[in-house]
Copies of this chain bind each other. A is one copy, B any other.
Amino acid sequence: MPDPHPLPGGAPGPADDPPPAGQGAPDPPPCKITTLLTPHPLDIPSFSAAVGSPAAGAVSTFVGTTRDSWDGKPTLRLEYEAYAPMAEAALGALAATAAGRWGLTGFAAGHRTGTVGVGEASVVIAASSAHRADALAAVAWAIDELKATVPIWKKEVFVGGEVWQENAEGRALMMEKRQRGAG
């Protein structure tokens, strides 16, 4: 039986400007990049492991989970809907930007779709770098960037009602998707 939540193999991504050929110092290792959009539970340790590198002195990780209340009302679950091809492309672009901007040794981002119960993870970001400031800054930037630019929408289902969380860009895309009947 296949692993229910496999992580695709890391692919080399952009790294800091390498030194000119012929210079003594060895090239920095390329940044390992992994992104995943999945209806299955996210295996958090596999994301931390995916960014591991002997050149890393720091690994920073962020996990977003469903909390038990929304606006004072008990939450039952969250439901995430994605425009998959565009969400995957946006995750990849975000990863490449983070890797290049902070000279990371590894970057991984995953988002779950469908129903996510209280206490379960909906999103994970992991980054590794030689020094701690870069991994920390990259993760803080990436989760904000993901929420702002990746077309994934969240419906909060709480006792007594439900509400879609707005995302200016995303909302327009979701409406367009629904009008077109895209899957």
Q: Which residues of A contact B (CB under 8 A)?
A: 25, 44-45, 48, 52, 54-69, 72, 118-119, 130, 132, 135-136, 139-140, 143
A-side interface mostly:
mixed
Residues of B within 8 A of A62 (CB): 58-61, 132, 135-136
* Copy total for this chain: 2
The residue of chain B having its C-beta at the shortest distance from the C-beta of A68 within the complex is B54
- Asked, given contacts A61-B60, A62-B59, A67-B55, whether A140 binds B130 with beta carbons under 8 Å apart, the answer is no
Complex CA gap A67/B54 in Å reads 5
How far, in Å, is A54 (CB) from chain B's closest CB? 4
Complex CA gap A55/B140 in Å reads 21
